[in-house]
Structure 1
Amino acid sequence: MQNLRILVWQFYKPFLYYNLFFTCFGAFLLFGKTAAFILALAAKMVSYGGMIFYQHFFNKQQYFYYRNAGRPVRQMYVYTLTPDFFIFLILSFLIITLKQYGIC
């Protein structure tokens, strides 16, 4: 399990700031209007697409490292993108709830 955490961290680390930027951008859109959730979700999906595009076309040799470690590349994407997406959803619903009660 410790080896898997290290592999996931190494896979996600180059895109941490990139995905964090799009998460904050989506949260910023939600502060404007609650109906902007679809736009924020689309921005997050574009960030995932950009991440996969960059990784696949410019850094394809890195996949061999994870395959040699016994992990399929799709599994690495699932392990990295799923927690990031749930953090985005929790943050989005927290902002929407706080706006509904007039706190922010």
Structure 2
Amino acid sequence: MQKTRTLLFQFYKPFLYYHLSFSGLSLYLLLSQGAIAFILALPLKMMGYVGFVFYQHYFHQREYFYYRNAGISMRRLYLYSCIPDFCLYSLLACLSIFIHNRYA
């Protein structure tokens, strides 16, 4: 499991700021507009994931062999990198909607 975490971090590290920027923009929309902005914020976050997959597939395709030789499938690598990010985003989105409704 330690090997998987290390490889996952190596895979996710170049896109950490990319995901944080999409999350920050989405959370800003939620804080400023409230729950109605969730209609815009969720597709914005999903577009970030699609951009992540396409960028990784188009520019870093040769790196896939490194992860496959280590015994990790690409589907598992994408899932393990996107699911914790989406769970954290969901938690922060609920918190920001609560803050907006509480103090608006």
Q: Please state which band the TM-score falls in when normalised by the shorter chain.
A: over 0.9
Instruction: State the distance in 2 between where 1:30 and 1:4 align.
Output: 34
Instruction: State the distance in 1 between where 2:99 and 2:38 align.
Output: 14
Instruction: State the distance in 2 between where 1:22 and 1:7 align.
Output: 23
Cα deviations across residues 42-76 of structure 1 (Å, max 9, x unaligned)?
11001101110100011100100110000000000
Higher relative contact order (CA 8 A, sep 6+): 2
Is the Cα–Cα contact under 8 Å of residues 8 and 80 in structure 2 kept in the other structure? yes
Match of 1:75 in 2: 76
After TM superposition, the runs of 4+ consecutive aligned structure 1 residues lying more than 4 A away are none
Match of 1:13 in 2: 13
Helix, strand or coil at the partner of 1:70: coil
More helix by share: 2
Match of 2:62 in 1: 61
- RMSD after superposition: 0.9
> For structure 1, which segment, 12-21 or 29-38, has the greater mean C-alpha deviation from structure 2 after superposition?
29-38
TM-score, with length taken from structure 1? 0.95
**2:33 counterpart letter in structure 1:** K
**2:48 counterpart letter in structure 1:** S
Aligned length: 103
Instruction: State the distance in 1 between where 2:100 and 2:66 align.
Output: 45
TM-score, with length taken from structure 2? 0.95
Instruction: State the distance in 2 between where 1:74 and 1:38 align.
Output: 27
Once the 2 structures are TM-superposed, how far is the Cα of residue 99 of structure 1 from its aligned partner?
A: 1.5
In the TM superposition, 1:27-38 aligns within 5 A as 27-34=27-34, 35-38=36-39
Identity among equivalent pairs (%): 48
**2:20 counterpart letter in structure 1:** L
Match of 2:52 in 1: 51
